[in-house]
Amino acid sequence: MTDKKQHIALLFGGDSSEHDVSKRSAHNIFDAMDKDKYDVSLFLVTKDGFILDDASSHRVFAGEAEEDVVAEVVPKLDREQPLAPILNLDSTKKIDAFFPIIHGNLGEDGTIQGLLRLLQKPYVGSGVQASALAYDKDFTKKILTATGVRNTNYVLVTPGNVTDWDYAKISQKLDSKILFVKPSRQGSSIGIHRVENEAEYEAGMQDALRYDTKILVEEAIEGPEEVEISILGNEQPEASKIGAIKVPAGDAFYTYDNKFVDASAVQFTIPVELPQPVSEEITRMALRAYQALELKGMARIDFLVSKDFTPYLGEINTLPGFTNISLYPQLWEATGISYTELIDRLIELAKDEFKRQAAILHDFKPLQAKDQKKVYKAK
């Protein structure tokens, strides 16, 4: 331990449907951080996209109603100032690293990563491009398929081709009577529907298009078991043990309500017992996907295991939850890494990646005009 404390900033909240989930994750991370090692600043991103200062964010953390704090603080901001939404980050010169824990839109899609890169600060998690790719299920599946990582077959539906695809045509193409309709760029089961007839398909598609202009319609896997694995690392990532989720009877999949509203009937098995070859294949697939997408820091990767024990990669979460029931930290605890140690390692990984990127930029020397001409002539 160094004599000087590191100054870490938690960024949480956001304008997505997972705003309150993000607040709970941030609380748990804050509580788990070693205060002998870290000074911690808080920056709450409101539902309207304004970043509150440290003092106001601490008031919300202490139990004041967020609506009351926002109503008091935000009207005092100069709305004519173009940087008003992010102006409270002007104190970041004293921050050693950021820990963004904004789930969904703004947090996992590369937006906040771009801001932190402009601020030239280390931050936990993947970079701009990797975050954006992993957040888009369509792009993710294209990369997985190209790199040989098994995933479910699907049809991509957009406002431009929605009239070309009805339930009958897609179910025939995918050879599946049961289909899953899901927005390409959403998290936590928002806008996802299990359908098995035309009426359900049309209703599910109408709802999904509220959240995104790209909709995946996926085949169903027979008798699937939902399992999850946690990944930690940069260039040489490591995988946790595997955990399983069993949803309540009557629920077709792990819904938003199961995850965040009432998880009392959800059963978690950590670690889950699977045939060793299946566990090994899931681990290989997860690590291959992590590296193919060039992810950094952490990810929770979800799989479906079919009735015949064939694993399919379902979804990748680059900023997984840290709530009391979130599997990412639980899986690492089962693997031998405590919550507090996990936070330490994520911060160190953020700083290592920042140094690596800085070294690349420092060593990169653009060719002079005369040297460029030599290269072009050689071609």
To the question of whether residue 317 is assigned a binding role by annotation, the answer is: yes
- Verify whether residue 326 is a known catalytic residue: yes
Question: Residue 42 forms beta bridges with which residues?
Answer: 10
* Residue 197 annotated in ligand binding: no
Torsion, CA 18, CA 20, CA 25, CA 27, rounded to 10: 160
Strand boundaries in 46-108, DSSP class E: 97-100
Among 281, 321, 287, 327, which residue's Cα sits nearest to residue 305? 281
Q: Is 20 annotated as a binding residue?
A: no
Catalytic residue among 17, 188, 230, 279: 188
Catalytic residue among 25, 126, 279, 326: 326
- Strand, coil or helix: 189: coil
Q: What is the rounded CA–CA span in Å between residue 208 and residue 216?
A: 9
- Is residue 230 within 8 Å of residue 328, measured between CB atoms? yes
227 DSSP assignment: E
Query: 182 phi and psi, to 5 degrees?
Result: -150, 140
18 among known catalytic residues: yes
- Which structure tokens are listed for 89? 């980050």
Whose tokens are 């629920």? That residue is 251
CA distances from 296 to 13, 14, 289, 320 (A): 22, 22, 12, 13
- Separation of alpha carbons 12 and 45, rounded Å: 6
Let me know if 171 is a catalytic residue: no
Question: 17, 18, 131, 240: which one is catalytic?
Answer: 18
CA distances for 304 relative to 150, 152, 246, 307, 312, angstroms: 10, 9, 12, 10, 5
- Reply yes or no: is the peptide bond before residue 271 cis, omega within 30 of 0: yes
Beta-bridge partners for 298: 232
Give the separation between CA 83 and CA 73, rounded to whole angstroms. Answer: 16
Binding residues: 302, 315, 317
The residues that are catalytic are 18, 188, 326
Binding residues for Mg(2+): 302, 315, 317
